[in-house]
């Protein structure tokens, strides 16, 4: 295994496509496919369930379920090549079996429709990670582009508490700044930014400032450097692989070698960095990294940091934790 990718939107793309897209063939409409994953030796891919904002509130749950169905029917299939990763045990088995893992995450709590029943059902379907928002506000919190800049709602706090009970992982990419700090201060959840870059190098609001990055370091979270041109540089037309490396260097300069990972956002954006346009191109990023850094470090960033995180924070056996009597949460 050469890569773990912390974020892609291929399920959402397959779900919204007018004609069926094929994950197991080279399909030029998809950035993430099995042949490309094989080419780049991706051993674990995080698959986001993303329901776009144009979907009316009443239809979000159905849309998320349809994407879960794509995950099992079109990606996992008969399990001969890809398997769902829901526990430490399943993650540990990857090395032995040589199969590729797929981990389900939710990008935005819209699909939950303000009901924890939906979280629990998605958990039983394999969901282990939740990003509270996309760019706007929802029942749980404000996203980073919501101008009022609010934090977690009452439902957002209850959601975080239930995620804690279930041993889930919280993703702060897209979350408002206030929401970020509330998650850090109010919850004991494992926290990641699955696809976010450094604000001090590129001023887009989606990026994290140095204080936030230091908080993730202190929390022993993870930060997935992402390839979306407008998050790499203030002049997106000039985004390059070299520009991605500047973010790597910056996280390291803050002491973040241990939290540094990658989250491509492939299939989540139409604009790409030339030469880093699909999963097969991860090879090129590997070559660029290995020219500059020792192999042990490169391996940490491309695989081991994610693997160590998930092997620590996924539930051990994949079972469903019993309801606790103390439900006070946060
Ligand atoms: Zn995203």
pLDDT at position 320 is: 62
Burial (CB < 10 A; 0-12, 13-18, 19+), residue 185, is exposed
pLDDT at 95: 87
Query: Which pLDDT tens digit goes with each residue over 299-317?
Result: 999 999 999 999 999 999 8
Q: 3-state SS of the chain: helix, strand, coil percent to 5?
A: 45, 15, 40
**pLDDT score of 169:** 98
Q: Tokens in use for 144?
A: 């980073």
Please tell me the distance between residue 9's alpha carbon and the centre of ligand 1 in angstroms. 8
- Using one digit for the tens of pLDDT, what is the confidence trace for 73-114? 999 999 999 999 999 999 999 989 999 999 999 999 999 999
User: What separation in Å is there between the alpha carbon of 298 and the centre of ligand 1?
Assistant: 24
Our CA angle for 184, 251, 151, nearest 5°, is 25
For the chain, the first-to-last Cα distance in angstroms comes to 38
Instruction: Show me where the domains of the chain are located.
Output: 3-313
Q: Which CATH superfamily is domain 3-313 in?
A: Metal-dependent hydrolases (3.20.20.140)
Residue 105 CA to chain centroid, in angstroms? 6
Residue 217 has pLDDT above 90, yes or no: yes
pLDDT at 293 (0 to 100): 98
Task: Provide the pLDDT confidence category of residue 251 given band limits of 50, 70 and 90.
Answer: very high
Percent of the chain with pLDDT over 90: 95
Q: Is the pLDDT of residue 327 over 90?
A: no
Span from the CA of 74 to the centroid of ligand 1 (angstroms): 22
Which pLDDT score, from 0 to 100, does residue 187 have? 97
In the DSSP assignment, the letter for residue 224 is: E
Which tens digits make up the pLDDT trace of 4-43?
999 999 999 999 999 999 999 989 999 999 999 999 999 9
Distance CA 94, CA 92 (A): 6
Question: Tell me, what's the pLDDT at 317?
Answer: 83
- Ligand 1 centroid to residue 205 C-alpha, Å: 13
Instruction: Please compute the mean of the pLDDT values over residues 230-246 and round it to a whole number.
Output: 98
Going from the Cα of 14 to the center of ligand 1, the distance in angstroms, rounded, reads 16
Q: Which residue has the tokens 């996992």?
A: 76
Q: Across-strand partners of 152? A: 141
Say whether 254 sits in a helix, a strand or coil.
coil
The rounded percent of the chain whose pLDDT value lies above 70 is 96
CA of residue 231 to ligand 1 center, whole Å: 11
Tell me which residue of 281, 283, 199 sits closest to 246, measured CA to CA.
199
Tally of CA atoms within 13 A in the half-sphere of 259 that contains its CB: 28
Distance from the CA of 11 to the center of ligand 1, in angstroms? 13
The alpha carbon of 72 and the centre of ligand 1 are apart by a number of angstroms equal to 22
- Summarised one tens digit per residue, pLDDT across range 103-161 is 999 999 999 999 999 999 999 999 999 999 999 999 999 999 999 999 999 999 999 99
Distance 319 CA to ligand 1 centre (A): 29
């Amino acid at each position: 295994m050469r890569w773990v990718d912390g974020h892609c939107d291929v399920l959402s793309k397959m779900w919204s496509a007018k004609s069926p897209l094929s994950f197991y063939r080279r399909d030029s409409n998809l950035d993430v496919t099995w042949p490309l994953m094989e080419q780049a030796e991706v051993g674990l891919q995080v698959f986001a369930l993303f329901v776009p904002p144009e979907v009316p509130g009443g239809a979000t749950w159905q849309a998320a379920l349809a994407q879960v169905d794509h995950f099992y029917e079109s990606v996992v299939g008969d399990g001969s090549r890809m398997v769902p990763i829901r526990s430490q045990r399943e993650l540990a088995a990857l090395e032995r079996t040589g199969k590729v893992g797929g981990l389900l995450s939710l990008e935005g709590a819209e699909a939950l429709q303000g009901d924890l029943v939906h979280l629990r059902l998605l958990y039983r379907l394999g969901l282990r990670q939740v990003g509270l928002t996309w760019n706007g506000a929802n029942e749980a919190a404000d996203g980073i582009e919501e101008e009022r800049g609010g934090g977690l709602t009452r439902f957002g706090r209850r959601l975080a508490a239930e995620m804690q009970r279930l041993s889930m992982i919280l993703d702060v990419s897209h979350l408002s700044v206030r929401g970020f700090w509330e998650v850090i201060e109010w919850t004991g959840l494992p926290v990641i930014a699955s696809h976010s870059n450094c604000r001090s190098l590129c001023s887009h609001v989606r990026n994290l400032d140095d204080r936030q990055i230091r908080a993730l370091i202190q929390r022993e979270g993870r930060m997935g450097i992402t390839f979306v041109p407008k998050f790499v540089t203030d002049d997106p037309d000039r985004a390059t692989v070299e520009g991605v490396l500047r973010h790597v260097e910056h996280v390291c300069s803050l002491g973040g070698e241990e939290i540094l990972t990658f989250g491509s956002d492939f299939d989540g954006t139409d604009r790409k960095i030339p030469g880093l346009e699909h999963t097969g191109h991860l090879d090129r990023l590997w070559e660029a990294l290995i020219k500059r850094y020792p192999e042990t470090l490169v391996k940490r960033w491309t695989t081991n940091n994610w693997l160590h995180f998930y092997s620590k924070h996924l539930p051990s056996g994949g079972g469903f934790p019993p309801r606790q009597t103390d439900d006070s949460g946060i």
